[in-house]
């Protein structure tokens, strides 16, 4: 027998999910899973539990689309995976029902727009990198080790009176940076 499962999320413990619970209960959800966590988190315990629990033929219902996905790409990926598992998805506020042909069409359009956006971002990034290379700039972070800092690091290291950690602390860099610029094997310092 197919079930409707609700998923509610609020970002902080101070927020109250009652509005979402009322709407999900009115929609006929047999059980509601609620997370008190930011939507940006990769793993939300109640959502993870819900996704493990649902079976083919069941439907997950949310109050609003932004309650489920971290971003549009994550939302589309999640709903697509649900569809592949024969699990339905509905969003009450947007009136989206991915179990209907019209809902699947709308979701397909959203997925195409999200892919288009990712492709545009990639193209702009590549064009920016190419323009920077044409101006003689390669990508990556600028080095924090100036020639003067390298000279000081070499002098401190050669005296044998300072550990690599002390040199790094003095120059405001990490130990790996000191090792990289002095081209010495780590001496256990």
Give catalytic residue positions: 11
**Helix H or strand E segment including 9:** strand 4-10
DSSP 186: -
**How many angstroms separate the CA atoms of 166 and 156, rounded?**
9
Residue 35 and residue 60 in contact, taking contact as beta carbons nearer than 8 Å:
no
Residue 20 and residue 11 in contact, taking contact as beta carbons nearer than 8 Å:
no
Query: Quick one: CA dihedral 121, 124, 130, 134, positive or negative?
Result: negative
Q: What is the DSSP string of 15-45?
A: S-THHHHHHHHHTT-SEEEEEES-TT-S--H
Pairing of strands 88-91, 96-97: antiparallel
Q: Is 116 exposed, middle or buried (0-12, 13-18, 19+ CB in 10 A)?
A: exposed
**How many angstroms separate the CA atoms of 6 and 87, rounded?**
13
Residue 89 and residue 79 in contact, taking contact as beta carbons nearer than 8 Å:
yes
């Amino acid at each position: 027998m197919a079930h409707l499962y609700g998923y509610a999320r609020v970002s902080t413990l101070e927020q109250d999910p009652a509005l979402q619970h009322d709407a999900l209960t009115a929609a006929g959800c047999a059980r509601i899973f609620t997370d008190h966590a930011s939507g940006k988190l990769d793993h939300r315990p109640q959502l993870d539990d819900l996704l493990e629990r649902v079976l083919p033929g069941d439907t997950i219902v949310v109050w609003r689309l932004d309650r489920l996905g971290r971003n549009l790409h994550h939302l589309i990926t999640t709903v697509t995976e649900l569809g592949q598992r024969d699990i339905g998805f509905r969003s009450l506020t947007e009136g989206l029902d991915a179990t209907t042909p019209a809902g699947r069409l709308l979701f397909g359009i959203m997925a195409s727009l999200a892919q288009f956006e990712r492709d545009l971002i990639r193209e702009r990034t590549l064009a920016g990198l190419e323009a920077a290379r044409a101006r003689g700039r390669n990508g990556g972070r600028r080095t924090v080790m100036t020639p003067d800092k390298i000279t000081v690091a070499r002098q401190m290291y050669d005296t044998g009176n300072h550990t690599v950690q002390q040199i790094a602390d003095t120059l405001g860099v990490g130990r790996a940076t000191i090792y990289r610029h002095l081209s010495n094997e780590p001496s256990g310092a």
